[in-house]
Amino acid sequence: LSDRLQTVFQKLGSKGKLTEDDVREAMKQVRLALLEADVNFKVVKDFVAKVTEQAIGEEVTKSLTPHQQVVKIVHQELINLLGTDNVPLQESRPGPTVIMLVGLQGTGKTTLSAKLALHLRKKGRRVLLAACDIYRPAAITQLESLGKQLGITVYSEPNSKHPPEIATRAVELAKKELYNVVIVDTAGRLQIDEPLMKELEDIDACVQPIERLLVVDAMTGQEAVRVAETFNQRVKVTGLVMTKMDGDARGGAALSVRSVTGVPIKFISSGEKIDLNTLEAFHPDRLASRILGMGDVLSLIEKAEEMYDAEQAKRMEKRLRKGKFDFEDFLSAMHQMRKLGPLQQIIGMIPGLSQLARDEELVSEKQLKLIEAIIFSMTIEERRNPELIKGSRRERIAKGSGTSVQEVSQLVKQFQQMQRMMKQMGKQMGGKGRGGRGG
Ligand code: GDP
Ligand code: MG
């Protein structure tokens, strides 16, 4: 039933379906845009193929051109692929929570470990930094000076040659002195090599970090995929952090890495400066727009849709005032409301009501669906003239919508009451003529 509803809904403001030509033409540009953003070519190929197949035959919304419609679908798919908003770091109970950072040299692990320490301290955690990069000259002093600057303790062993042991003793210290979190800053190489991978595996086995974050430089090009695959094979990565997002790079690596590992992007780092302003939670919509790089097309789409919504709302308001509001308008109003997201979600955003949103029975999404089903089973004529709905028509509608005659009668009755009320209100509002946005 809900599939049927969906298609009927889509048809409401439609001007035909996307043809294969529409989609292929628009996809050429999408493909180029993604390659320019340095998304891995294989990932681009798969993505374009999948979305092409999916887009052909989709309805074109009245407010958009076919090209815009394709871009809109692509944008939404990118958002889906990039994944969930704001996935928090996992914590171990009892502690300490161990977080290991891995990645190539220069991607920003050490910088990130300091930023993460700040982030976690702000959440009330006692954080210990463990300096496990013993190869890069001055790596330990780099972390120690960051620690001093921020007032965060750094555990290091200047003479040790065994990072897994350093990490182990850091965790022991954390247990003894009741630190909540240990962030293990590891060494990187310019390229993946076996000794590095073995060492990370050893650290992983010794301290069993609950989070193994792969740090990825946003400027990484095509090779991002292979790097991510290798790290993920050796230490099962639990999250991604994209760094250097303050640069010009469109950040296609994020899409590549996300799509081959399937693990969530947890943070975006955007600056050399160590403060909380340069460490952001991840928002897939922003990154999707950046990777697609079609800012102007995307804002055109948004404007066109807003204008369309405003027009619809105005028209509806006029009909409301004249007391001409019928079942068709009602459907259309529901459709507009739906654009805000599922009812459940909308209610979830209202403070105080979020508890309610969790209880599916209380929020009557079901009830709404029932109403929709009934309206969909009416003929156009009946929707426009609800007073026609009597006797055998009620029976037919009930059968068609899988409801009972009583339910149909009740809806019609309620609707007619609502119409009368609206007529009254319309008279009271009189000719003030203020065009607000309806929902
Ligand atoms: P590591 O080798 O992975 O530990 O990388 P580092 O943390 O030492 O960072 C390497 C370089 O990148 C340093 O010069 C950092 O200041 C710089 N860096 C790190 N993160 C960012 C970032 O988000 N934006 C910019 N612009 N530079 C960064
Ligand atoms: Mg480092």
Question: Residue of the nearest CA to atom 19 in ligand 1?
Answer: 108
Which backbone phi and psi does 219 adopt, to 5 degrees? -85, -5
The CA distances from residue 102 to 108, 165, 196, 199, 227, in Å, are 10, 17, 10, 11, 11
Is the minimum distance from the CB of 221 to ligand 1 under 6 angstroms? no
Domains 19-84+288-321 and 323-429 alike in fold: no
Is the minimum distance from the CB of 251 to ligand 1 under 6 angstroms? no
Tokens of 203: 């650290």
As for the ipTM of the complex, it is 0.99
Q: What is the pTM of this model?
A: 0.73
Atom number of ligand 1 nearest to Cα 113: 7
Is the minimum distance from the CB of 180 to ligand 1 under 6 angstroms? no
Is the minimum distance from the CB of 110 to ligand 1 under 6 angstroms? yes
Residue 258 Cα to ligand 2 midpoint, Å, equals 23
**Residue of 271, 282, 278 whose CA lies nearest to 241:** 282
Pocket test for ligand 1, best of 192, 242, 272 (most atoms within 8 A of CB): 272
Residue 212 Cα to ligand 2 midpoint, Å, equals 15
Instruction: Please report the DSSP string for 387-410 in residue order.
Output: GG--HHHHHHHHHHHT--HHHHHH
Strand locations in 270-352, DSSP E? 279-281
Atom number of ligand 1 nearest to Cα 106: 2
Is the minimum distance from the CB of 106 to ligand 1 under 6 angstroms? yes
Distance (Å, whole) CA 380 – CA 366: 24
Residuewise pLDDT in 10s, the chain (439 residues): 445 444 444 444 456 789 999 899 899 999 999 999 999 999 999 999 999 999 998 888 878 888 889 999 999 999 999 987 778 999 999 889 999 999 999 999 999 999 999 999 999 999 999 999 999 879 999 999 999 999 999 999 999 999 999 999 999 999 999 999 999 999 998 888 999 999 999 999 999 999 999 999 999 988 899 999 999 999 999 999 999 999 988 999 999 999 999 999 999 999 999 999 999 999 899 899 999 988 778 878 887 887 777 777 777 777 777 777 788 877 777 776 666 555 555 555 444 444 545 554 444 667 777 888 899 999 989 998 888 999 899 999 999 999 999 999 988 888 887 777 767 766 665 544 444 433 3
Structural domain boundaries in the chain: 19-84+288-321, 97-282, 323-429
Whether residue 435 contacts residue 317, with contact meaning beta carbons closer than 8 Å, is answered with: yes
Question: Residue of the nearest CA to atom 28 in ligand 1?
Answer: 272
Is the minimum distance from the CB of 272 to ligand 1 under 6 angstroms? yes
Q: Are strands 239-243 and 127-132 parallel, antiparallel or unpaired?
A: unpaired
Q: Which CATH superfamily is domain 97-282 in?
A: P-loop containing nucleotide triphosphate hydrolases (3.40.50.300)
Whether residue 96 contacts residue 110, with contact meaning beta carbons closer than 8 Å, is answered with: no
- Residues shown for the chain: 439
Is the minimum distance from the CB of 65 to ligand 1 under 6 angstroms? no
Distance (Å, whole) CA 378 – CA 360: 27
**Domain 323-429 architecture:** Orthogonal Bundle (1.10)
Query: 262: left (phi > 0), else alpha (psi -120 to 50), else beta?
Result: left
Q: What is the CATH number of domain 19-84+288-321?
A: 1.20.120
